[in-house]
Amino acid sequence: MECSLIKEREQQVFTKGRDNYTIASERGSAAGSVSQRACVFCGSRVVLYPIADALHLVHGPIGCASYTWDIRGALSSGPELHRRSFSTDLRENDVIFGGEGKLYKSLKRLIPEYKPNAVFVYSTCIVGIIGDDVEAVCSRTAIEEGIPVIPVHSEGFRGTKKEGYRAACSALLRLIELDDELRNIETGSKIKKIINTKPVINILGEFNLAGEAWIIKDYYKKMGVEVGAVLTGDGRVDEVKSAWKADLNVVQCSGSLKYLAKDMEDKFGIPFKQVSFFGIEDTADALYTVAEYFSEKPEIAEKTRELVQNQLSELYPVLEGYRKDLAGKKAAVYVGGAFKAFSMLRSLKFLGVSVVLMGSQTGSPEEYEEMKDMADPGTVIVDDSNPSELSRFIIELDVDLFVGGVKERPMAFKLGVAFCDHNHERKTALAGFEGMFNFAKEVHKSLMSPVWQTIGESKENDPWKAQ
Ligand code: SF4
């Protein structure tokens, strides 16, 4: 395999037990490598998209908007304005003479018609090239219409998808800083501490795919902890604005929302804990982490223990059945953020499935060091991989199951390998204890499907196979 790697990528592919170097990461994709990463604009769109009472206006050619239309399976318990795809539809004339006028007209038409509580205006590649003053148009419209109109500086060419996460976090912070209560507080250098009567947390990096935020919120409710805001799953503009009042931020999707968590720590003094709600161990840890933080209220720890025990006593016997069938199978995991890959590794190991290939689009050097520690000898670890590499490894490592996203699915099926969708388009909740049950069921159903045997037989009996 080594000889077929693009030279610039050699340090981004690592085999545990054979190689001995720091995995190169957080760099632009190598020329010639068809990276699985999306662009900066897409990165910011996926983070902000679930804010359901905001209007999301893509300032650019129509293709950028259509490419990200309804991009997540993020559910809303109320308005569904986020599911619309609005675009300024920039064309040749706008590129030559500027698109500011078209943006202003679009905002002036859309705001009265859809009555959003805020607007996010996404800058795409061409807007960065022609140099529209999006800030000025947004400020003018915000004053005239009396709602926040927030520019998202997400020109596609600005860097990697991670830059898009950063742009989304900046936009979220701008929205929080517009909260009237916060602005009215005499701050000096620090804001006054809000004394909540009940412990209040925000959940960052949870997007309510298939209702996952509701599952997690329910756990915290049972523990006696209030969830002030989820950023951004089932999000509302007012909830986001009040996020500065929380006592603690728990951050699930570390790749996307950690920037905001750090900013909120600096500006509002809210500490954050990194957690994951995927898999039994990680979900239990996420709940105990919060209980521990509020240790001055021992009843929270008591309720947490009770909750976890009840969930596990129901779940273990069911999972045991799946484990019997799955033992000895081999999986590849390639996802957006490395932290999610850790949870996948633990969950698959629990089910008796070994992970022989793992990687992410946006992992950090520290995360890859952790990945190396967790992986079994012989496991191949990849950063910012591409279809060519992934396909080759799947064949060479004789993988039975691929856990990935929409871009990996056709690859798995073409290679005759079972697939489990763990990305943002999915319609099945995979978070929490319920999610672990769904994950085990899906992995089992996919791996045990008789179709793999049929495919194997047809390959054996292929009359056109070279002799
Ligand atoms: S922002 Fe740029 S890279 Fe992203 S979809 Fe639009 S044109 Fe393509």
Of ligand 1's listed atoms, the one at least distance from the Cα of 67 is: 5
Closest to 209 (Cα-Cα) out of 65, 406, 67:
406
CB 429 within 8 A of CB 212: yes
Residue 193 gets which letter from DSSP? Answer: P
Strand order in the sheet with 118-123: 86-87, 54-59, 118-123, 149-152
Closest to 205 (Cα-Cα) out of 241, 169, 237:
169
Cα–Cα distance for residue pair 340/277, rounded to 1 Å: 9
Q: Verify whether ligand 1 is closer than 6 Å to residue 67 (CB atom).
A: yes
Q: Verify whether ligand 1 is closer than 6 Å to residue 122 (CB atom).
A: no
Residue whose CB lies within 8 A of the most ligand 1 atoms, among 34, 42, 45, 64, for a mutation test: 64
pLDDT of res. 256: 82
Q: Verify whether ligand 1 is closer than 6 Å to residue 350 (CB atom).
A: no
pLDDT of res. 88: 98
Instruction: Tokens for 269, please give them.
Output: 């003094």
Instruction: Tokens for 78, please give them.
Output: 């109320």
pLDDT of res. 190: 55
pLDDT of res. 459: 77
Name the residue type at position 19.
D
Instruction: Tokens for 410, please give them.
Output: 């056709």
Neighbours of 52 (CB within 10 A): 24
Half-sphere exposure of 282 (CA within 13 A, CB side): 27
The residue whose CA is least distant from atom 5 of ligand 1 is 64
Largest Cα span, the chain: 82
CB 201 within 8 A of CB 249: yes
Helix (H) or strand (E) holding 127: helix 125-130
Residue whose CB lies within 8 A of the most ligand 1 atoms, among 35, 39, 46, 163, for a mutation test: 39
User: What is the tally of helices (H) and strands (E) in the chain?
Assistant: 19, 14
Separation of 43 CA from ligand 1 center, angstroms?
Answer: 11
Instruction: Tokens for 396, please give them.
Output: 């060479």
- Burial pattern 227-261, b for ≥16 Cβ within 10 A else e, equals bbbbbbbbbbbebbbbbbbbbbbbbbbbbbbbbbb
Residue whose CB lies within 8 A of the most ligand 1 atoms, among 46, 59, 68, 124, for a mutation test: 124
Cα–Cα distance for residue pair 241/152, rounded to 1 Å: 17
Residue 465 gets which letter from DSSP? Answer: S
Cα–Cα distance for residue pair 113/29, rounded to 1 Å: 41
The residue whose CA is least distant from atom 4 of ligand 1 is 156
Domains for the chain: give ranges and CATH numbers.
Answer: 1-33+327-426 (3.40.50.1980), 40-176 (3.40.50.1980), 200-308 (3.40.50.1980)
Q: Are strands 330-335 and 226-232 parallel, antiparallel or unpaired?
A: unpaired
Instruction: Tokens for 158, please give them.
Output: 């600005």
The residue whose CA is least distant from atom 6 of ligand 1 is 64
**What's phi and psi for 202, nearest 5 deg?**
-110, 150
Beta bridge partners of 420: 403
Q: pTM for the whole thing?
A: 0.92
Cis peptide before 124 (omega within 30 of 0): no
The residue whose CA is least distant from atom 7 of ligand 1 is 125
Q: Are strands 226-232 and 248-251 parallel, antiparallel or unpaired?
A: unpaired
Residue 387 gets which letter from DSSP? Answer: H
Separation of 153 CA from ligand 1 center, angstroms?
Answer: 13
pLDDT of res. 5: 85
The pLDDT tens digits along the chain (467 residues) read 545 788 899 999 999 999 999 999 988 888 888 888 889 999 999 999 999 999 999 999 999 999 898 888 899 999 999 999 899 999 999 999 999 999 999 999 999 999 999 999 999 999 999 999 999 999 999 999 999 999 999 999 988 888 999 999 999 999 999 998 888 775 544 566 667 788 999 999 999 999 999 999 999 999 999 999 999 999 999 999 999 999 999 999 767 899 999 999 999 999 999 999 999 999 999 999 999 999 999 999 999 999 999 999 999 999 999 999 999 999 999 998 898 899 999 999 999 999 999 999 989 999 999 999 999 999 999 999 999 999 999 999 999 999 998 889 999 999 999 999 988 778 899 999 999 999 999 999 999 999 988 887 887 888 777 65
Of ligand 1's listed atoms, the one at least distance from the Cα of 60 is: 6
- Burial pattern 64-77, b for ≥16 Cβ within 10 A else e, equals bbebbeebbbbbbe
Q: Verify whether ligand 1 is closer than 6 Å to residue 60 (CB atom).
A: yes
Let me know if 400 is exposed, middle or buried by CB neighbors in 10 A (0-12, 13-18, 19+): buried
